[in-house]
Amino acid sequence: MFMPFSPEPYVDFNQPSPRDHMLTALKQVGQQLGKTYPLWVNGEAITSGDTFDSTSPADPSRVVGTMIKANADIADQAVRGAAESFQDWSRWDPDARARILIKAAAIMRRRVYEFSAWMCYEESKSWIEAYADTCEAIDFLDFYGREMMRLKGAQPVTPFPGEENEVRYIPLGVGVVIPPWNFPLAICCGMASVGLVTGNTICLKPASTSPVVAAKFVECMHEAGLPKHVLNFLPGPGGNVGDAMVCHPLTRFISFTGSREVGTGIFEKAAKVQSGQKWLKRTVLEMGGKDCIVVDETADIDAAAEGVVAAAFGFQGQKCSACSRLIAHEAIYDKLLEQVVARTK
């Protein structure tokens, strides 16, 4: 029996041990920069073809990794292969699928500084932002694995005299996962792993500015025992690769996090029934928000100001969860505003 889920704790980089671990990881990862990463299609690595580089925002001359570039034809092969693989993967014991995620979480936990260091290079994340990203990915794997064990089999229903009823959750089919660049591990891992553990096969198209971290996630899943043919890895241009998978008649659902413009475009494309399509596609589209913090007259003003500034400007505010509105009680409004402005400056 597994222990109940609990979030992965953060470290304090003011302390010597976490700082030393991070410096070591940055050095080790720095020695691996510039490698070429394959596509994964129907369980096979594709190591040749057109390529593109992923570079560091802090130093655009530094190549973090070179990717084989997918195209619309390869995307078609991937979706068709994923539809075939679904027939077997969807029938796996849910516990067996769940344990792959639990093992992947353990691997990622052991390599937490390494994964974080990759994000420092590829996204220029600060240490704590990168570490928190990795912790969130571990949380997704641990939580979704446990949830699959809970949701397997027949579920409770309201009894009715003279009838025998049951509810069972079943997988859908081929899912297309399109994560954003700003949480290249957590959201990529979360959207892909939940689709996989519930018995779906996945075609993953990472953001073109953060494909190396996604490649490292795929490697982790392979190490954990995930059959290679159930997770396709297809870095490439969204207007070519992404659209081909979104519009494919064998695609059952699309999970996307990113801009409003791209998300609404996916929604429009997915709504059109293609020739040979049997079902209406489902979409999960996360396109940011207007997140607020509410501060009442009883609050600790210093703590509130610190929290607001951290929430608004952590990772330069480049998060859908960043605080973009502050709602304060009139009794403390002026004092809080003064402190927030001072900290922001």
Between CA 34 and CA 32 the distance in angstroms is: 7
Q: Which of 44, 84, 136, 286 is catalytic?
A: 286
**Catalytic status, residue 320:** yes
User: Cα 177 to chain center, whole Å?
Assistant: 9
Which whole-number Å values give the CA distances from 182 to 4, 72, 120, 193, 205, in the listed order? 29, 25, 11, 18, 15
Q: Count how many Cα atoms sit within 13 Å of the Cα of residue 114 in the half-sphere of its side chain.
A: 14
Angle at 79 between CA 74 and CA 82, to 5 degrees: 120
User: Cα 178 to chain center, whole Å?
Assistant: 9
**Catalytic status, residue 286:** yes
Q: Which residue from 312, 317, 253, 315 is spatially nearest to 280, judged by alpha carbons?
A: 253
Q: Which of 320, 323, 330, 338 is catalytic?
A: 320
Between CA 177 and CA 188 the distance in angstroms is: 8
The pair of three-digit structure tokens given for residue 189, joined into one six-digit string: 């891992």
Between CA 174 and CA 231 the distance in angstroms is: 10
CB-neighbour burial class of residue 135 (10 A; exposed 0-12, middle 13-18, buried 19+): buried
Contact present, 179 and 207 (Cβ < 8 Å): yes
Catalytically active residues, by annotation:
286, 320
